[in-house]
Amino acid sequence: MKKKGTVVCICAHPDDQIFGPGGTLAKYAKEGKKILTIILSYGEFSHPHFKQEIIAKTRVKESEDADKIIGGSGILFLGLKEGKFRQHEKKTTKKLTNLLHEYRPKKILTHASDDPHPDHRATFKLVKQAYDRTQLQCPVYTFDVWTPFSTHKRDAPYLIVDVSKTYKTKLKALSCFESQLGVWGFLINIYYVYAGTLLRNFIAGIKHGHRFAEVFYKLR
Ligand SMILES: [Zn+2]
């Protein structure tokens, strides 16, 4: 089957692509679009009591499992150090520019500029810089990962994706990231991240007349 265009998702850590736009990516994959994900770090600080390379390996495996569930076509890790995304800004921007040229996406998804996590904001900046260096005309949309509500009033045009039919897939993909959390990590995740994600997608759904929805703001 010939793929109906490529969607590129660029995020900071190995689970953001599912927590944020997971339902949308699964939906696009179902529609026959090719989903390529670029993850800037291995998320090795997520479990400080494990050795970093072991964590990186686990996180790669978890992400690849989740990618299979949503019907993605693969993940590329850039291996940046968490908290230090801006350290090699020029090099990373260039790398992203080259990748965008290579992938020729029809749509790009990345973090929002006002995300509370500094790595997410740094990712936004790097993607924006890289995109502006290309001659691509495709739209760039941003998503939230943590916040249940969008706290800032944004004037940018937005995109509402009805993910009711792929929401189960999103939750299944999210479950790939539970394995290495430990009891406390698991509980924290359930209460803050899962509940936040569910609540956000549910509220957006109510607001826009769907069971579950993911909301994106247009950057370009
Ligand atoms: Zn993240």
Over residues 15-29, the pLDDT tens digits come to 899 999 999 999 999
Distance from the CA of 129 to the center of ligand 1, in angstroms?
19
Ligand 1 centroid–CA 1 distance in Å is: 33
Give pLDDT, residue 109: 98
Distance set, CA 106 to CA 5, 25, 32, 33, 159 (Å): 6, 13, 13, 9, 15
Instruction: Tell me which of 3.10.20.30, 3.40.50.10320, 3.30.420.40, 3.30.9.10 is the CATH number of domain 6-218.
Output: 3.40.50.10320
Q: Tell me, what's the pLDDT at 43? A: 84
Instruction: Check residues 188 and 152 and name the one with the higher pLDDT.
Output: 188
Grouping H, G, I as helix, E, B as strand and the rest as coil, residue 37 is strand
The domain limits of the chain are: 6-218
Compute the distance from residue 148 Cα to the ligand 1 centre, in Å: 15
CA distance 111 to 159: 14
C-beta of residue 112 within 8 angstroms of C-beta of residue 152? no
Sign of torsion, CA 28 70 156 76?
negative
CA of 180 to the centre of ligand 1 (A): 16
Distance 123 CA to ligand 1 centre (A): 10
- The model's pTM is 0.90
39, 46, 52: which is closest to 12 by C-alpha? 39
Q: Which of 26-40, 118-132, 138-152, 157-171 has the lowest mean pLDDT?
A: 138-152
